[in-house]
Amino acid sequence: MNLLPGGYRDAGGVLHREFELAPLTGREEELLAHRSAAPTAALVTDVLSRCVARLGAISPVTQDVTRHLLVADRLYLLLRLRQATFGDVVRAALTCPWAECGEQMSVDFSIADVPVDEQPDRAPQYAMTLSGGTEVAFRLPTGADQELLSERLAANEAEALTALLSRCVLRIGDRPPDPDRVAALPAAARLEIEERMRELAPKVEQTLAARCAECGRTFVAPFDVHRFFFGELRTDATVLYQEVHYLAYHYHWSEGEIMAMTRDKRHTYIDVLADTIEVLNSGA
């Protein structure tokens, strides 16, 4: 059974965790090719709405649902989507960070081994008492927050974090908050809230332990799930359409039939066809 580390809570308060995925096809590659400049959070929402076939009792899974998934749930689904499309083993290109070494290396790792931290308390909102005695209620960040704040984060990280707190803090004392009141919280109080959010949120590990074969030292490398996922899957539109034309020309399949294939299956047919043509040409 496939379960999200967090889960989606619908308007009726029902928590949905079990999910089914459909592998990426040429249609998703086409989407990525034509939306290369789009913010990553918006692309995640779009791709997941196309490839999450079911979430608990919810089917179809709309963009509104995938947009409001917890951040870690979206990362986890991207990892599992890569696993369903290309398999479990991943090869990452790394550089030894030690200045006197700098050796280039390839590291293989398993998606199944990426640590995922589930939190047993899956409430729609949480309450805490700050050191100063004020009670605060908050929810955990979602993809909707990422979409709204992605451009602001690139321009001004501090401003984006304040905006995130303004969206996630639901109550300060006995009053609903407003952006000015959240911004006016002491730095120590904001840090307390942020730390409590991190403690309560499910997590997908985004670092990778490696050992340099040249100098023998171990190090920890960042593993950006978004960059890894979209970098590996992004295809130039021209190349994609050339592959579709190649298969359609020789097999007389429709564009819809070819674009519905996964990349792995499409490339398998291309390789078989290329080998066959080479044999025929050699015999001629």
Q: How far apart are CA 202 and CA 204, in angstroms?
A: 7
Identify the domain containing residue 265 by its residue range.
237-283
**Do 88 and 169 share a domain, yes or no?**
no
Helix extents (H) in 156-200 = 157-168, 179-183, 187-200
Q: 3-state SS of 202-237?
A: CEECCEEEEECCCCCCEEEEECCHHHHHHHHHCCCH
**Do 268 and 130 share a domain, yes or no?**
no
Share of the chain above pLDDT 90, in %: 53
Tokens of 109: 């790792």
**Do 16 and 107 share a domain, yes or no?**
yes
**Do 179 and 209 share a domain, yes or no?**
no
Is the entire prediction scored with pTM above 0.75? yes
Pairing of strands 126-129, 116-117: unpaired
C-alpha separations of 129 from 132, 140, 183, 188, 201 in Å: 8, 17, 18, 13, 18
**Do 180 and 209 share a domain, yes or no?**
no
**Do 113 and 212 share a domain, yes or no?**
yes
Q: How far apart are CA 264 and CA 267, in angstroms?
A: 5
Place 211 in a pLDDT band, splitting at 50, 70 and 90.
Answer: confident
Residue that the structure tokens 């799930």 belong to: 225
The tally of domains found in the chain comes to 3
Domain ends where: 154, 182, 201?
A: 201
**Do 81 and 181 share a domain, yes or no?**
no
Share of the chain above pLDDT 70, in %: 96
**Do 130 and 92 share a domain, yes or no?**
no
pLDDT digits (tens, 9 = 90+) for 90-141: 887 888 888 888 888 888 888 888 899 998 889 999 999 999 899 999 999 9
Secondary structure of residue 108 in the 3-state scheme: strand
**Do 91 and 149 share a domain, yes or no?**
no
**Do 213 and 192 share a domain, yes or no?**
no
Average pLDDT of the residues in 228-251: 85
Q: How far apart are CA 273 and CA 250, in angstroms?
A: 8
**Do 73 and 17 share a domain, yes or no?**
yes
Place 7 in a pLDDT band, splitting at 50, 70 and 90.
Answer: very high
